[in-house]
Structure 1
Amino acid sequence: MRKLAAVFALLASPALATGLEIEVSGKANGTIKIDLLEDVAPKHVEQIAALATEGAYDGVAFHRVIDGFMAQTGDVEFGKVDSGNLASAGSGGSDRPDLKAEFSNQPFVRGTVGMARSSSPDSGNSQFFIMFQSAPHLDGQYTVVGQVTEGMEVVDKIKRGSGQSGTVSGKPDVMTKVTVTD
């Protein structure tokens, strides 16, 4: 009976978001549209959509950008540009719990959006990255949460970081507004 009640609760719950619209300012100005893959990573998509709905991603910098690889953002704890200090950007998350990995056979190709994490596969929280090009070594190792459908030209213009870590210095590009779309 308990399992049946859980199924009905799941069916009665509101549908997950289907996408994000990210307004970017800085060196890259424009809009990035992302199709969120709730059928591939439902818990991760739910967390990202909830954080976006709360406005947690608004004003968050692209803090780690490696040319030819990816652009990372989403540190809602330390990545806000209005904090005046981005030195810790990339080391934080949100007040929500970390998520268990939802690995899939989705490949990491140009425009794929993946969930950033520490060395623990079950440490995804709020940070995510967008691929500049294919990276097969990430396949099955990181959770795929979405795919850019419009605005890759904006992604391509995001200010690059330096060194192997890709840490962005100076004035980074910023997600000024992140909206959940239907």
Structure 2
Amino acid sequence: MWIRGFSFWIKGCFLLALVSIISGLEPELGFTRVVFQTKYGDIEFGFYPTVASKTVDHIFKLVRLGGYNTNHFFRVDKGFVAQVADVANERSTPVNEEQRREAVKTVVGEFSEVKHVRGILSMGRYDDPDSASSSFSILLGDAPHLDGKYAIFGKVTKGDEMLTKLE
């Protein structure tokens, strides 16, 4: 019985993936959520491990190490982005050696067909497409000019009203 259910689940996942590709639907979020606590309230993030697996793993490791604790938004452009500061160099309190080691690692650019729209999480980087490390942006509006150029790895699942306050 379990095998049959598992087989059905696999076929269902394949069908869902195929429908998503054909119709251009948003990819499925993984189960893990991360909550950023801000002075305006909490913002919950969901992640796209099937879209940017290396980026998601990197962000999870930084979160587990406490790398984003005492961090801040160093840039907020109304209707565009709220950008989280680089963990290694711009955090409010010093990082320990393990946090620094992980924060300076770069992640290969995992570009996708997912669109840069309000609530999307998108990695910051330099000119090199494989230079993303720990800074990322929360989109505060649609930004089609970023599509295919920056790695999208998740989206806001709760707390959109906090983004409005942040703006």
* TM-score normalized by the length of structure 1: 0.68
Corresponding residue of 1:20? 34
Corresponding residue of 2:81? 70
- Taking the aligned partners of 2:107 and 2:49, their CA distance within structure 1 comes to 14
Unpaired runs of 5+ residues, structure 1, are: 1-15, 84-92, 161-182
Corresponding residue of 2:101? 95
Q: After TM superposition, where is structure 1 displaced by more than 4 Å over at least 4 residues in a row? A: none
Report if aligned partners of 1:17, 1:46 keep a CA contact under 8 Å in 2.
Answer: no
Paired residue type of 2:121: V
- Deviations 1:116-147, CA, capped at 9 Å, x for gaps: 00111100111110001110011101000101
- Taking the aligned partners of 1:137 and 1:94, their CA distance within structure 2 comes to 31
Report if aligned partners of 2:82, 2:139 keep a CA contact under 8 Å in 1.
Answer: yes
Paired residue type of 1:141: K
Corresponding residue of 2:4? none
Could you say if the C-alpha distance between residues 80 and 17 of structure 1 is closer, same or farther in structure 2, counting changes exceeding 3 Å? farther
How far did residue 74 of structure 1 move? 3.9
How far did residue 115 of structure 1 move? 0.5
Count of aligned residue pairs for this structure pair = 132
Report if aligned partners of 1:17, 1:49 keep a CA contact under 8 Å in 2.
Answer: no
Corresponding residue of 2:8? none
How far did residue 44 of structure 1 move? 0.3
> Helix, strand or coil: the match of 1:63?
strand
Corresponding residue of 1:59? 70
Corresponding residue of 2:24? none
Which of 119, 127, 139 does residue 127 from structure 2 map onto? 119
* TM-score normalized by the length of structure 2: 0.74
Structure with higher helix content: 2
Unpaired runs of 5+ residues, structure 2, are: 1-29
How far did residue 17 of structure 1 move? 6.6
Which of 124, 139, 142 does residue 147 from structure 2 map onto? 139
- Taking the aligned partners of 1:45 and 1:120, their CA distance within structure 2 comes to 19
Q: Which has the larger radius of gyration?
A: 2
Q: CA RMSD in A?
A: 1.8
How far did residue 61 of structure 1 move? 1.0
What is the aligned-residue identity percentage?
36
